[in-house]
């Protein structure tokens, strides 16, 4: 599997590094971590579609909303490196939801499942949306992406495209004229020679007594219901 890392400045891809491995070389990983730590915005391949990612902090979150043109009323989800990492962001007193998250996580994580939970009082990031007490969380598949999450911590992540436009599925699409406005917001781009699956994650709401599927996606609804039961 071949990955290519681009440093992006003023919408133009600059320095480039290629590697063929399941792990990012330490030198390149350090550069990526530094961009995240300084509030930077990085687009990268996920197991569903290309995503815009930033650290869970005010500057990075603002950059994601600005790059995508996403209304603040539409909350940003969060990537976590593991189910336990996801649970650390959730209300520790909601044991029913935590048990359901663990069950679904054992079945579908890492993978294309996003769960909406009541958040921990200690998790105060402004992710947008109409309910500041909730958070959507996913544990994505892919050794490189998990390596990043383990290094820098949870990331806000949303599909790499202007709001209401089709998501980007191939790295070369970033260099098309129609995506020039998006590129101007980026500080880095990590592309994968393989294309993502192209289907968004299934979104499941665990905040209530009854489980709700908020969005159909890569995981069939029947599989969700079977896992919940």
pLDDT tens digits, 20-51? 878 899 999 999 999 999 999 999 999 999 99
Residue 117, beta-bridge partner list: 135
Which strand ranges, in their side-by-side order, compose the sheet holding 42-45? 12-20, 2-9, 188-192, 42-45, 50-55, 155-159, 78-79, 134-138, 113-118, 202-205, 212-215
| Cα–Cα–Cα angle for 118, 122, 128, rounded to 5 degrees | 60
Would the pLDDT of 121 be above 80? yes
Residue 113, domain CATH: 3.90.870.10
Nearest Cα to 63, choosing from 80, 39, 44? 39
d(CA 142, CA 37): 22
Would the pLDDT of 220 be above 90? yes
Nearest Cα to 190, choosing from 137, 140, 154, 148? 148
Would the pLDDT of 193 be above 90? no
d(CA 219, CA 112): 7
Q: According to the model, what pLDDT value does residue 36 have? A: 97
| Cα–Cα–Cα angle for 29, 32, 37, rounded to 5 degrees | 120
C-alpha distance from residue 95 to each of 31, 78, 108 (Å)? 39, 21, 20
Chain centroid to CA 180: how far? 22
Q: According to the model, what pLDDT value does residue 139 have? A: 98
Structural domain of residue 157, as residue ranges?
Answer: 2-228
Q: According to the model, what pLDDT value does residue 23 have? A: 87
Would the pLDDT of 8 be above 80? yes
Residue 113, beta-bridge partner list: 202
d(CA 186, CA 40): 8
Name the domain count of the chain.
1
Q: How confident is the model at residue 174 (pLDDT cuts 50, 70, 90)?
A: very high
Asked if residue 171 lies in contact with residue 191, where contact means CB atoms within 8 angstroms, the answer is yes
pTM of the predicted model, to two decimals?
Answer: 0.94
Count the neighbouring beta carbons within 10 Å of the beta carbon of residue 142. 19
Residue carrying structure tokens 């544990």: 139
Helices (DSSP H) in 129-177: which residue ranges? 143-152
* Averaged pLDDT for residues 91-105: 96
- β-pairing verdict for 155-159 and 113-118: unpaired
């Amino acid at each position: 599997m071949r990955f290519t890392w681009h440093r992006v400045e003023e919408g133009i891809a600059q320095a480039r590094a290629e590697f063929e491995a399941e792990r990012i070389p330490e030198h390149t990983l350090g550069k990526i971590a530094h961009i995240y730590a300084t509030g930077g915005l990085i687009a990268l391949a996920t197991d569903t579609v290309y995503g815009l990612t930033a650290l869970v902090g005010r500057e990075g979150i603002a950059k994601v909303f600005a790059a995508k043109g996403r209304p603040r009323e539409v909350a940003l989800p969060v990537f976590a490196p593991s189910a336990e990492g996801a649970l650390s962001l959730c209300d520790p007193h909601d044991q029913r939801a935590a048990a359901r998250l663990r069950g679904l996580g054992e079945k579908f994580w890492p993978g294309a499942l996003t769960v909406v939970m009541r958040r921990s009082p200690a998790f105060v990031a402004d992710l947008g949306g109409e309910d500041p007490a909730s958070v959507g969380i996913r544990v994505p598949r892919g050794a490189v992406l998990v390596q990043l999450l383990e290094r820098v911590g949870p990331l806000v992540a949303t599909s790499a495209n202007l709001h209401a436009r089709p998501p980007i599925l191939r790295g070369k699409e970033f260099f098309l004229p129609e995506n020039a406005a998006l590129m101007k917001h980026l500080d880095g781009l990590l592309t994968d020679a393989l294309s993502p699956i192209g289907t968004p994650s299934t979104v499941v709401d665990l905040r209530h007594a009854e489980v709700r599927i908020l969005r159909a996606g890569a995981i069939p609804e029947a599989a969700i219901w079977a896992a919940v039961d």
